[in-house]
Amino acid sequence: MIMLNIFDIPVACLTSNSLAETIGFLNTCKTTLKGAKRQLPTLYAYSIPFEAVYTKDGAIINYHDLQTYGHDRTLLDWSMTDSDSGIGDAGQAYIENLELSASSEDFIKFTGTLSGYGSIVDVDLIYDVWAQDVGVYVDNGDNYVFVN
């Protein structure tokens, strides 16, 4: 199962989530000898659509937390990891949309989309960096390195 975390806290009772990546293209004036068009890749973007069951559990990121992040236009640190292997991706994003829905005889659900900010990185490449009086430390989870 792939988990979506925001600020290292799981998003509430996910029923689905995915990572959609797009690359824009610019048409050129040239074609091949047989008339096929040529394009150049330009901008890269990604989004993370998700659906979850509504909960008020304070131990996970719930609808109201996401709503507050959206209203405040908070830049979110996210990660998506396989719960068995720990392999996954990470990055930053803003909340693009959030919708609460309910039907009779069903759980209250909400859907949302995170709109990517910057590049996606391998979740293993996330480093904690902190400054002290004598210099800067970088921690990748295994050990830390002093950078002067």
How far, in Å, CA of 47 to CA of 40, rounded? Answer: 22
Interval 53-106: pLDDT, tens:
988 877 889 999 999 999 999 999 999 988 788 788 999 999 999 999 887 777
Question: b/e for 18-45, b at 16 or more Cβ within 10 A?
Answer: ebeeeeeeeeeeeeeeeeeeeeeeeeee
Digit-coded pLDDT (tens) for 10-24? 898 888 889 999 999
- For the chain, which residues make up each domain, given as ranges? 2-147
pLDDT digits (tens, 9 = 90+) for 107-146: 889 999 999 999 888 887 555 554 555 555 555 555 555 4
Residue-level pLDDT at 114 = 96
pTM (two decimals): 0.75
Considering the domain delimited by 2-147, tell me its CATH architecture.
Beta Barrel (2.40)
